Amino acid sequence: MSTSTKIYRFYGVNGAIELLRPGAKWEWTGGVGFTRWDDERPKPTKEEVEETMEKIKEFEDSINTIWTKEQLEEIGVYTKAIEESSL
């Protein structure tokens, strides 16, 4: 991995929903959307979540992040552990 490798830190459903409805309690199933919504505010639509995710990605793409080799190694180990646990 290059030290300028793009690693999205905020992009995702969690980040989008936190920006849209801070502190809401919810569950999301990929391909389905919300499977639980425990909040007095109306749940955002799937389209709102997707639009917010795109804005987050555009923002992250605009930042020239440079990682150290040690950070990339840590992230690589962490990513590999996640991949193996989901098998």
pLDDT of residue 7: 83
pLDDT of residue 27: 95
pLDDT of residue 87: 54
pLDDT of residue 76: 78
Question: What global pTM score does this model have?
Answer: 0.75
**What is the full per-residue pLDDT of the chain (87 aa) written as tens digits?**
676 778 888 899 999 999 999 999 999 998 889 999 999 999 999 999 999 999 999 999 999 988 888 888 888 766 666 666 655
pLDDT of residue 83: 67
The 3-class secondary structure across the chain, one letter per residue, is: CCCCCCCCCCCCHHHHHHHHCCCCEEEEECCCEEEEEECCCCCCCHHHHHHHHHHHHHHHHCCCCCCCHHHHHHHHHHHHHHHHHCC
pLDDT of residue 5: 76
